[in-house]
Amino acid sequence: MYYSTTYQSPMGVITLACNGGNLVGLWNEGQKYHGGSIPEAMAEKSDAPEFDAAKQWLDKYFAGEQPAASELPLAPIGSAFRQRVWDMLCEIPYGEVVTYGDIAKQIGCKSSQAVGGAVGHNPISIVIPCHRVVGANGSLTGYAGGVQTKIKLLALEGVDMSGLFVPKKGTAL
């Protein structure tokens, strides 16, 4: 059984999902693939311990603290390849960015686009920090929660934005 609740963040409403033991989803309102990894309907339940832990984690994060993904019981649903990419995302330090190509090299994948697909389908946004991944040229693309949300999250973390930019056109905006 899967459960959901909401959390009011400075970025808007966030939906949280759990499976009765682990956090399995965290999506911004209107985010691409919102709830897409959950294989069945979710029942509303606001008092799950996973939700309490996730809300405390988010409170710290939005207060400018640096909670680690490892502080929460996470169980994102996805293929073995996506799991490897999501594990790599959890290793990106707070306030830093890496490129899709960097991740591809680290996991021995020849396709930055395949990595981009896995990053884009991350079902536990913010906690598994897919917003910390940028294009090789510094482009701020590929965030399923929207490029403006990505910018806000990176700014919250104090990322030097001087070499980063929003592309004028593209499929990942």
**Catalytic one of 18, 90, 109, 130:** 130
Could you give the angle at which helices 100-107 and 80-89 cross, rounded to 10 degrees? Answer: 120
Sequence length of the chain is 173
Do 12 and 20 contact (CB within 8 A), yes or no? no
For residues 114 and 32, what is the distance between their CA atoms, to the nearest angstrom?
17
What spatial distance separates the first Cα and last Cα of the chain, rounded to whole Å?
34
130 is catalytic: yes
Which residue(s) pair with 43 in the sheet?
3
DSSP class of 6: E
C-beta of residue 90 within 8 angstroms of C-beta of residue 70: yes
What are the tokens at 28? 């911004």
Specify the DSSP element, H or E, that contains 169. none
Residues serving a catalytic function are 130
